[in-house]
Amino acid sequence: NFSSIVEVDLYVLFQDGPFEVRLRKISAVNDPQTFASPVISLLSNEEIKTLIDKTIQSGGGLYDKGYHELCIALYGSVLNTILAA
């Protein structure tokens, strides 16, 4: 029942300097939407380790700032990227 929606929040996090956001459309959906993880070439175990280390650094910062869901999404995306490589 979309008539019960009274508020929508939009966040643009961690952007330095001036920028502009133009919102063209918001669509309500019945089911959760998912998107494919990026596909990259990982040629060595060292590249995988570097990706994991950088992901932990980024995800830890998100988690520490209280963005737990974003942290989970980041880790899940990187895991799927590694599995697809």
**Mean pLDDT of the residues in the chain:** 89
Give this prediction's pTM: 0.69
Coil, helix or strand for 16? coil
The DSSP annotation for 24-67 comes to: ------SS----PPPP----SHHHHHHHHHHHHHHHHHHHHTT-
Largest Cα–Cα separation, the chain: 52
Q: pLDDT 10s per residue in the chain (85 long)?
A: 678 888 888 888 888 888 888 999 988 788 888 888 888 888 899 999 999 999 999 999 999 999 999 999 999 999 999 998 8
